[in-house]
Amino acid sequence: MMRAYIKLADTLSTSIGKAFSWCIVILMGGTCYEVMMAYVFNKPTLWNFDFSMQMYGAILMMSGAYCLATESHVRGDVIYRLFKPRTQGYIDLVLYFIFFFPGVVSLAFYGYEYAALAWKIKETSWSSPAQINIYMVKSLIPAAGVFLVIQGIAEVFRAIICIKTGHWPARMVVAEETEQILMRTAQDEDQKDVI
C-alpha cells in the first residue's frame, strides 16, 4: 500500500512539475515580446512586468512537490550521506514531522484563506499601472501546500520502508549531483582514450 501511494504521489508531483515547467516558455515569450515592443517599436507594455512576476510565482510555487519527489532540493547532506540508510530513514522521519509538515500544512491552510480573500475582493496588482488581476494566481499558494503535503506523506512512507528494509525505495526521476555527472563523464572519456 505504501509503495502504491509513493508511485501515485511521485506521478502526480512530476506531472504537475513538468506541466508548470512550460511557464518558462510562456515567460520567455512574454519577455521577448516586451523587448521587441520596447526597443523595436518604442511602445513598452504596462502589463508585462506583472505577467512575468505571475509566471515566476507559478513556477516557484508549483515546482516544490516536483523537487521533493526528485530529490532536487538543495540539501546540506555532508554528514547525512555518511550514515547508514536506516539511520537516514529515522532522521528523515523525525525531521518531516518536526519541520516539514507544520510548514506545508500552514502554507495550505493559511494560503487558502489568503487566496479566498483575494477571490472575494477580486484583487488586482497594486504595483502595476495596468492593475491586472492576481487573485487567480494566488490560488496556487494553497495548491502548492496541498501538493507538498501529498508528496511529504510519500517521503514519510519512503523513510518507513527504508527503516524496515535497510535501503531506500527507487524514485521515478532522480536528480543527479553535479559531481556524479562530472565523474561519469570523466570515466566515459577515460574509457574512450583506452579504446
Instruction: List the chain domain ranges.
Output: 2-194
Distance, CA of 1 to CA of 7 (rounded, Å): 10
pLDDT tens readout for residues 103-155: 999 999 999 999 999 899 988 877 777 778 888 889 999 999 999 999 999 99
Give the pLDDT of residue 163: 95
Whether 75 and 88 have beta carbons less than 8 Å apart is answered as: no
Average pLDDT of the segment spanning 2-9: 93
In angstroms, the CA 41 to CA 64 distance is: 38
Locus of grid cell 492576481: 134
Q: How many Å apart are CA 91 and CA 71, to the nearest integer?
A: 16
pTM of the model: 0.82
Secondary structure (H, E, C), the chain: CHHHHHHHHHHHHHHHHHHHCCHHHHHHHHHHHHHHHHHHCCCCCCCHHHHHHHHHHHHHHHCHHHHHHCCCCCCCCCCHHHCCHHHHHHHHHHHHHHHHHHHHHHHHHHHHHHHHHHHHHCCECCCCCCCCECCCHHHHHHHHHHHHHHHHHHHHHHHHHHHHHCCCCCCCCCCCCHHHHHHHHHHHHHHHHHC
| Rg, Å, the chain Cα set | 21
Residues near 83 by Cβ (< 8 Å), separated by ≥ 6? 91
Residue 89 confidence (pLDDT) = 94
Residue 133 forms beta bridges with which residues? 124
Q: Tell me the per-residue pLDDT of 155-184, one tens digit each, with 9 for 90 and over.
A: 999 999 999 999 999 887 766 666 677 777
